[in-house]
Structures are given as structure tokens and as C-alpha cells.
Chain A
Amino acid sequence: MPPPPHLSFAQSAYHELSLYSHIPAARQPQILRVISGITGMLPETTLEHHLVYKPKRPRQLGQNMELYYLQLISIVPEEQKHGEVEGGYDVKSQKWRMRLEDVPEPTRKPVTSRNVLGAGFGEGDSLGLVDSLGFMLQTNYFMTVSTLIHNNIIITLSQVLLPPTSHAAPNAQYGNPYPTSGLQPLDPARSWVLRAAVRVQSHQDLESINTGVNELKGFKELMRGMCGLEVVERLALDTRVR
């Protein structure tokens, strides 16, 4: 079944405007309740599997040419409690999507602004294809994401999780989320990231950009006192390979 279209990674190519906030672990349930109240909906929570790939550097890199990290993302299905099914997670039969996020543009806008490109795989060996495109698996992680929608804003509260390391299992380099109770937050303080994002089709569509920026500013005002939504330092979101 395809994921609902509003989920954070389901679209293909767009320009994204966003604001971020750091949420301490103790505040997360309250923040989630408040946003649930604002949006009038319950959060939709999924577990995503992320694979981060680094390109192999070509012998000659042309002028003005950049290399970018590439991600594969899929939704981890709910764990089946069938005792006899060992391992249960097949990384190769997951429905993967490719995502390449551009470095945020230098801008004076009061929001982070970047291009996102992506494409969903259908049939075939997606992991094999990415290998043959000239990419090496760099790291893997899981992310629990609660998604809510407020007008045009996609609001996500997310936490990066790591599986316990096991080198013996086949495909161990990709990571295995099962049992999901074994996943541990990357951040020992168990904090969360709140992100409010608006997608527009093109960065040249100034009218939509302005609408998006204004909606984000409005949401930031709405959340004032609860959490501070900020522009993230551009180079902290740099996806270029150095």
C-alpha cells in the first residue's frame, strides 16, 4: 500500500521552506498535545528507515560540479508478533524512495529554503541499483516521525533511533529495526526535533513562496512561549560531500 501522500517523504520534487525547534524529551508529549489541538488531528506516527549513501569521487570533478549525499527512505512495517518468524525484516523487499536534499540556499528569508529531489522505486533491486550508480552506504538509522498538518504546513516531531549493533546478521550493514523495542535514541538526552515545513513546486513561484513564508511565520507566533521555531544555520544542513 502506498504511504498517504502527506507523509514527510512521499512527494518527489519540490522546494521546501522550513523552521526547526529542539524539543527536550520531557516537553515532547505536551508539545504534541498542543499541536494536536491547533491542527485538530491526531498525529500519524511512522517508523522510517534511512540509508545514507556517499558518492564515490570521480577522478576528475568538473568545475562547479558538486557531489551530494543521497538517502534511501522507507517505512518500516509494524512488527509481526508471530514468534516463529525470525528476524522478520527484509531490507531488500522494502519499498524505497530516493531523496536528495540540496544545500539550503543563501537567503534573507526568515525560513530555511532548499530544493528536494526524489523518486520512488517500483519493482526490482533498488539497493543494487544505488550501489551501481556509484554510491557507498555510509550509515543507516531509523526515525520515529509524528506528522500533523496545519493548513499548508507539514509539522513533524521526530527522533533518530539506532538499532543495537550486530555484525553477524545478513545485511547487517543496513540495520534491522526488529525488535523495535531495542531501538535506542541517538541523543542520550532523548530529545526531539520539531519541524514545520511548507512545500512549493518551484522556488521561482514567488507568490507561493510568500504564502508559505507567511504561514510559517504565523505558526511560529502561535507556538511562541511553547517552543522557538528558528532558521537552521545553512551549513549545518549541507549535503555536499567535502
Chain B
Amino acid sequence: MVPLLADHLGKCHQPLYTGKWALEHRLLQKTIPSGTSAASPTTSSSPSNNQSPQTHQQLPAGGNYMQYLDLPHYPQRLIVSTPSAIVTLDREFELLVRSKLSALWSPRQTLRGEGVVYEVDDFKVRIANIMQGDVWKGVLVEVEYAPCSTLAVAEGVIRGFVEGLGWPAGRFTFVGKGGGKRAEGEEWSVLDTGRQYCEVLRMGWGG
């Protein structure tokens, strides 16, 4: 699938191959705090992209999962996301959780991505196969457009670029801070990129 997408890219543009890349994503589940009702800590497998309010109500306050994301293009820190907050944090956070918060959080899913990076004019296109162990879970594509830092404007530019490639239909994610409601003139931060990745890579966890 990665060569097919790369081939499409090559037919539409003159992409410059700039190297390989790899990402790692871990999902952890919170152990049930005492005092909450017996609602199961489910992995609702509904593939619905629309987060209905009902699925949110089943979650304990703050949600029941946490995601770590390690992206090579933001090498300094991990992106850590829960349903109610997203931050960048030193890598040692992973050690802290593994060794001292194991009573609160248990690992559930590790995904690894490996692929290639191309530059097309002002766009950077990262394509990767996503694997869970030896199981292929899909292909992830990140399109970065650097000349513009306003989310609302960038979305149109990126969407236009992706649609112009004639790739097989996929799921296009572009989530700002307020979910669908984007503030006027909202500027990009690394957390916005992290948010898109976490949305895609949690594979339906938490509804």
C-alpha cells in the first residue's frame, strides 16, 4: 500500500524522497477507580468517528485511556494525550508510568509505523504502514504544509492537496482544539499534530 500511494504521488508531482521514518504509539487503559459504578471499562469497537455524547458518559471522569506518541519529527518529547488533555512531556514520563503508576495504568496496545517521507514543494508527505506486532492495521499519511500557521487556512490547502492526489478514499482527520469548532485565527502547535495522530491511532478505543 505504501508503494501504491507513493506511486500516485509521483504521477501527480515530482516528489523528492527525503528518507525513511518510524513512529511508535502506545495506548494504556486506566484501572477502574473505586467508587465508580460497574460500567465496564469497555473497548467500544464501534468504528463511528462521531463521538456521541452517550459514549462519553460511560467513561469515568477524564476518560479511561492515555496515549503516548513518539514522532521522529518532534524528537525532544513525547506527545501524551488523554480524552481531556494533551501535552508534550519528557520521555522519562514513560519510565515513571511503567515503574510507579502501574497500579493506575496498564498497557493495552502498541502500534508501530514505518515508512517513507517525500517533499512536494511546500508539502511534506509522510506515509507509513501501521503494524500491531505482525498484524497490518492500515496506512497512515501525514501531510504537512509549513508556510501557513493558521489552522483554518491550512485545512483547506491540505485537503485540496490530498484530494488532488486521487488516492483511494481514506479517513481525513483535522481536529482543532475545540473538536470541530475551530477558533478564528487559531495557530498551529505541535499539539494539533499530536491530536490528529492520537485520534487516528487509538483505533476506536474510548468510543
A residues in contact (CB < 8 Å) with B? 12-13, 55-62, 65-68, 98, 100, 102, 117-126, 128-129, 131-134
Contact = CB atoms under 8 A, between A and B. Distances in A.
Contacts of B105: 133-134
Given A118-B96, A125-B87, A134 B190 contact: no
6 contacts: A12-B90, A58-B34, A58-B104, A98-B96, A119-B89, A123-B191
A121 B103 contact: no
Contacts of A128: 84-85
Contact of A133 (B32, B36, B101): B101
A12 B96 CA distance: 10
B48 interface: no
B77 interface: yes
Nearest to A126: B87
B92 interface: yes
Given A13-B92, A132-B85, 17 more contacts: A58-B34, A67-B103, A102-B100, A117-B92, A117-B95, A117-B99, A118-B92, A119-B91, A122-B76, A122-B88, A124-B85, A125-B87, A129-B87, A132-B63, A132-B83, A133-B66, A133-B104
The 4 closest A-B pairs by CB, nearest first: A124-B87, A122-B88, A132-B62, A128-B85
Contacts of B63: 132
Interface in B16-36: 30-36
A134 B104 contact: yes
B82 A129 contact: yes
A58 B31 contact: yes
A142 to B, nearest CB: 23
Contacts of B167: none
Interface of A is mostly: mixed
Interface in B69-116: 76-77, 80, 82-93, 95-96, 99-105
Contacts of B87: 121-126, 129
A204 B76 CA distance: 27
Given A58-B31, A59-B34, A124 B104 contact: no
Contacts of A66: 100, 103
A134 B30 contact: yes
Contact of A134 (B62, B76, B85, B189): B62
B77 A122 contact: yes
Given A132-B63, A134-B30, A13 B84 contact: no
A133 to B, nearest CB: 7
Given A58-B103, A100-B96, A120-B90, A131 B191 contact: no
Nearest to A11: B92
B183 to A, nearest CB: 16
Q: Which of B31, B86, B91 has most chain A Cβ within 10 Å?
A: B31
B128 to A, nearest CB: 24
Given A58-B31, A120-B89, A121-B88, A67 B104 contact: yes
Contact of B33 (A56, A68, A124, A129): A56
B198 to A, nearest CB: 12
Contacts of B31: 58-60
